[in-house]
Structure 1
Amino acid sequence: MGKQKRILITGAAGFLGSHLCDRFILGDYHVIGMDNLITGELRNIEHLFKLENFEFYHHDVSKFIFVPGELDYILHFASPASPIDYLKIPIQTLKVGSLGTHNLLGLARAKNARILIASTSEVYGDPSVNPQPEEYWGNVNPVGPRGVYDEAKRFQEAITMAYHTFHGVETRIVRIFNTYGPRMRLNDGRVLLAFIGQALREEPLTIFGDGSQTRSFCYVDDLIEGIYRLLHSSYVQPMNIGNPDEITIRQFGEEILKLTGSDQELICLPLPTDDPKQRRPDITKAKAILGWEPQVSRNEGLKITLEYFKSLSKMEIEHKDFYYYNK
């Protein structure tokens, strides 16, 4: 029997980080979770605290990072990811994408560990091509309200490739498209969550613009499997992982109303600055290189997600935050 692999997962108490912890625990890894809890929630990983092959560090990766012992892999998922968060804490968002990434790349170099960096479809900005292939350089406003997140991720990719080419660090970059599922925060400002929260509270669903913007929603289990395969592949260039099943925001709102049995109406509000008009991943590379494509239909995934939110306390469901993007 071989030596147990050790993996550091930053942003471990967040939505994706906590699911990644679960996946690698199931894979018999020794998982070290790290999170400063600025947006993460300990309840997402509290079921892991009793396990011998899990440990947790309450730490901000923008500061010096020390992890004793060997490391085989690092997954960098520490970053605010919703508009509500990165508009409230723009400096921290920029720091975790720059200083935090720099610190973790240095740690990977020192430990001779392979590191996977979580980038995002937001590097494409408001795209002029659809679907978005990895070769598309994007259409991003660096000084707009979304710039603190978009440019942090673009810098993150640049410094990661620099460490790969200059220092020979084993790196992987995943560009994550809209993902949903249990453990998301109902009030974190994303359109899917806003719709579900409003439907559960029996309120009208609010749409920014005329609702013709498109998004592509990937269920979390599919995304985690894609990330797992990318980490263990030999591919070093950025790779899209997401569901190419595109839908307009208006159509999506209608789906939520039907699924929840709500008879509320859809209300249109002014479109926020730099809101992307289209979002759909080209997953040609993921199919060819990883043998990966989404398996969970939107209808199936939404039913699971809705049941999770129905299980929350009434206080959590009643908590409102009307300022969100069609993300």
Structure 2
Amino acid sequence: MKSALVCGAGGFIGGHLVKRLKKDGFWVRGVDLKFHEFSETQADDFVIGDLRDQGFCRAVVDRRFDEVYQLAADMGGAGYIFTGEHDADVMHNSVTINSSVLDACHKRGVRKIFYSSSACMYPAYNQEDPKNPKCSEDSAYPAAPDSEYGWEKLFSERLYLAYRRNYGVQTHIARYHNIFGPEGTWIGGREKAPAAVCRKVAMARNGEDIEVWGDGEQTRSFLYIDECIEGTVRLLRSNFSGPVNIGSEEMVTINQLVDMVADIAGKRIGKNHVPGPQGVRGRNSDNRLIRENLGWEPSRSLRAGLEPTYQWIAAQAARNVMPKARVA
């Protein structure tokens, strides 16, 4: 039986990835600081611990896993990333996790490692026009991310590429574009735009306004979790190393996102535009490279992903309780 290691298995994407790997017949070890908040893990072995610790990394990488997925990071949505209050932690924690995990895998002889980078590493100067952002993979340099989170992602990409070049480790790098879906963070400050909008609409009465940061004309694309997982697995099992975008090319304004969620909810919802962190003015995935190299790209519409996401978040909000992490 093949074996896989998922670092960050207690998180949103990691939890869904564990489920996919089990369906594919893998023995799976999950590692995280916490258990998944919203579902029981399907991992055969789940280890609680700190991946910044080199000794702990060597202990959990105790075999030549057939596949390693490194998703663990200090991250969150705009309300967490763009305040500047968490920059040192974001950079220190994520860089330390990546260097520790990657080196432990190299020294154990693990050959195939996936790393989840982010579209936040793209230069801000190419994302000033909300109607025509440039996020092709070859546009990454000259580098100028709009956040320290993006700078860390860019540095860690180079770290994985260096291990591939110097040590022959088969690293595969994806630049994720705004992944969303059920069983993800939906409250507390680290949630991303689709979850935040779904929560606000769910908790609003018909005819009420919800707060929208900025003028709402900033543009984004959002990718449903199932397609993120499919692209991730396809990339690691291919001969293509990346970096490559994994995202949707269906770009909408935040105002349009609100309207779409309101329509799904069957509510009339107004918008109260208020000051708040917004990030770049425009961002959209460019999928030419993934089509060329994997013969695949995401195809699910934004609305088709928002419908189950809204229903899940509305059910969470109806309980009117903050999510609590399970304890061992």
TM-score, normalised on structure 1? 0.86
Number of the residue aligned with 1:168:
168
Partner of 1:272: 277
Question: How well do the aligned residues superpose, as a CA RMSD in angstroms?
Answer: 2.2
- Matched letter for residue 259 of structure 1: I
CA contact (8 A) 1:115 1:171 kept: yes
- Residue 253 of structure 2, aligned match among 232, 248, 256: 248
CA distance in 2, matches of 1:297, 1:235: 26
Whole-Å Cα distance in 1 between the matches of residues 290 and 124 of structure 2?
22
Gaps of 5+ in 1: 320-327
**Aligned counterparts of 2:139 and 2:167: Cα–Cα separation in 1:** 26
Which residue does the alignment assign to 1:126? 124
- 1:124-153 deviation digits (Å, cap 9, x = unpaired): 1425162410001268667x7x31x11111
139 and 247 in structure 1: CA distance in 2 versus 1, 3 angstrom threshold: farther
Instruction: Work out the percentage of aligned pairs sharing the same amino acid.
Output: 26
**Aligned residue identity for 2:167:** H
SS at match of 1:135: helix
Q: Deviations over 1:196-243 (max 9, x none)?
A: 111111152222222111000111101110001000011123010000
Are residues 109 and 300 of structure 1, via their aligned partners in 2, closer, same or farther at CA, if it must alter by over 3 Å?
same
Query: Helix, strand or coil for the counterpart of 1:46?
Result: coil
The correspondence of residues 102-113 of structure 1 with structure 2, limited to 5 A, is 102-113=99-110
**Conserved? CA contact 1:61–1:96, under 8 Å:** no
The alignment partner of 1:155 has SS state of helix
In structure 1, distance between residues paired with 2:41 and 2:242: 35
The answer to whether the 8 Å contact 1:186/1:317 transfers is no
CA distance in 2, matches of 1:313, 1:272: 24
**Residue range with higher mean Cα deviation, 304-313 or 163-172:** 304-313
Aligned counterpart, 2:69: 75
Q: Could you report, residue by residue, the CA deviation over 1:66-108 in whole angstroms, capped at 9, with x for unpaired residues?
A: 1223322211100133134456644432233211111111122
CA spacing shift, 1:257–1:317, aligned 2, 3 Å:
farther
Q: Unaligned 5+ residue runs, structure 2?
A: 128-132, 324-328
Aligned residues: 305
- Once the two structures are superposed, the pairs formed by residues 222-237 of structure 1 within 5 Å of their partners are 222-237=227-242
Map residues 2-17 of structure 1 onto 2, 5 A cutoff: 4-17=1-14
**Paired residue for 2:262?**
257
Cα separation, 2, equivalents of 1:100 and 1:47: 22
Match of 2:300 in 1: 296
Q: Residues 139 and 303 of structure 1: is their aligned pair in 2 closer, same or farther, counting only changes over 3 Å?
A: farther
The 2-side partners of 1:85 and 1:56 are apart by 27
Partner of 1:200: 202
Partner of 1:61: 51
| C-alpha contact (below 8 Å) 1:223/1:241 kept by paired residues | yes
Deviations 1:239-280 (A, max 9, x none): 10000011111111111111112223101112537x111111
Bigger shift: residues 158-167 or 88-97: 88-97
CA contact (8 A) 1:245 1:280 kept: yes
Determine helix, strand or coil for the equivalent of 2:233.
helix
Query: Contact 1:128–1:139 (CA<8 Å) still a contact in 2?
Result: no
Structure-2-length-normalised TM-score:
0.86
Task: Select 2:89's aligned residue among 85, 88, 92.
Answer: 92
What is the rounded CA distance, in whole Å, between the counterparts of 2:2 and 2:209 in structure 1? 49
Separation in structure 2 between the aligned mates of residue 266 and residue 139 of structure 1, nearest angstrom: 37
CA distance in 1, matches of 2:41, 2:8: 16
Q: Secondary structure of the equivalent of 1:266?
A: strand
Return the match for 1:311 from 288, 312, 315. Answer: 315
Counterpart CA distance in 1 for 2:158 and 2:317 is 42
- Shift in alpha-carbon separation, 1:43–1:191, aligned structure 2, 3 A: closer
Deviation at 1:111, TM superposition (A): 2.3
Instruction: Supply the distance in 1 between the matched residues of 2:75 and 2:322 (Cα, whole angstroms).
Output: 22
Please, which moves more after superposition, 211-220 or 122-131? 122-131
Supply the AA of the counterpart residue of 1:122.
Answer: C
Question: CA shift at 1:157, angstroms?
Answer: 0.4
